[in-house]
Amino acid sequence: MEAAMKRALLVLNCILLFIGGSGGPLLTRLYFIHGGSRLWFSSWLQTGGFPIFLLPLSIAYIQHHRRNPSPGNRFFIGPRLFIASVIIGILTGLDDFLMANGMARLPISTSALISATQLAFTAGFAFLLVRQKFTAYSVNALVLLTIGAAVLAMHGSSDRPEGESSKEYMFGFVMMIGAAALYGFIMPFLELVYAKAGQEITYAVVMQIQMVICVFATGFSTVGMVINNDFKVIPREAREFEIGETKYYLVVVWSAVAWQFSFLGVVGIVFCASSLLSGVMVSLLIPVTEVLGVIFLDEKFRPEKGVALALSIWGFISYFYGEARTLKKQKHVDQDTEMQQV
């Protein structure tokens, strides 16, 4: 893929992640605070919106066969990628359930704070699985983003929802940490799958991988919904929703769409750049989600949230400045190598 096209796709996926990564948690929390209580259904919504990408996949398929009429040109993912995607899908389903348990019991500010720990897990697993190289700028970004999360922790103890026991609060806390750790493993593992795919990885292949992951993650949650009788309870829950039945369905539909944007943005960034960058982007969204929680969910904005936002933006700029320097240096090296060959 040409460098310009890959950069354009990277920008597009960052936008998708920004929309979905901030909208998904807010809509999920909105579901819980106004009377929603089905954990498996909430988990299902995080991947159940995958059919919306059948249209772009169909367009990509038609374009592929117009440009490559020969039957030897592969479009669909092979068995190796399919099996790896199934494994990631089941892990994603488990991660969604852990996250749903956390978001049901914690304010958006606290759940966002705990989600920040995924960056440390992502960095560690990226080093182990794909031998991720760290520069002074990327390390600086990791430190700043981690400090931002620590600053948010200063008010964590006062955020326990009214009427919730300490035991329930701690259970949600542990579930969110588990979700962050599992998510931190999934992204580097996906990057490893790309590297060991045995076929060319195009953006159409990335969307197919996402489809397979979401199908099996949704299937995992569907089994839980059947066992928990969620399908029978949803109509009653909609009627009893505090802000109205119509808004209930709007919340769940747009929640499913937002989470799909988030997930496609993450896997796209891993494809265009690295799992570490996806972790940095997700961490950047945490203080943004905090601010949106203040605006839309009437949560309190404390000074430490402003400090965390500033540190996160600083870390984000540091990471991309370091990447720009690395690319510029590599370009000079490539030019010198070409001149020597001539």
Please check the confidence at residue 87 and state whether its pLDDT lies above 70: yes
Checking if the pLDDT of 158 tops 60, the result is no
Question: In this structure, are residues 19 and 203 in contact, taking their beta carbons and an 8 Å threshold?
Answer: no
Q: How many Å apart are CA 99 and CA 112, to the nearest integer?
A: 11
Amino acid occupying residue 49: G
pLDDT at 117 over 90: no
DSSP 299: -
For the ranges 26-35, 54-63, 160-169, the lowest mean pLDDT is seen at 160-169
Predicted local distance difference test score (pLDDT) of residue 301:
67
- 3-state SS of 224-276 is HHHHCCHHHHHHHHHHCCCCCHHHHHHHHHHHHHHHHHHHHHHHHHHHHCCHH
pLDDT of 91-106, one tens digit each? 999 999 999 998 888 8
Which DSSP symbol is given to 161? P
Provide mean pLDDT across the span 110-134. 77
Q: Is the pLDDT of residue 244 over 90?
A: yes
Q: Which residue type, as a one-letter code, is found at position 233?
A: V
Q: Is the pLDDT of residue 189 over 90?
A: yes
By mean pLDDT, which of 38-47, 66-75, 194-203, 243-252 is the weakest?
Answer: 66-75
Q: pLDDT digits over 35-66, tens only?
A: 998 999 999 999 999 998 888 888 888 887 77
| DSSP per residue, 2-52 | -HHHHHHHHHHHHHHHHHHHHHHHHHHHHHHHTT---HHHHHHHTTTTGGG
CA distances from 307 to 145, 156, 283, 313, 336 (A): 11, 15, 14, 10, 44
Helices and strands (DSSP H and E) totals, the chain: 13, 0
Can you say whether the dihedral through the CA atoms of 211, 213, 218, 219 is positive or negative? Answer: positive
Q: Cβ contacts of residue 12 below 8 Å, gap of 6+?
A: 268
Compute the distance between CA of residue 311 and CA of residue 300 in angstroms, rounded to an integer. 19
**Considering only CA atoms, which of 269, 332, 292 is closest in space to residue 6?**
269
pTM: 0.82
What is the distance between the alpha carbons of residues 214 and 93, in angstroms, rounded to a whole number? 8
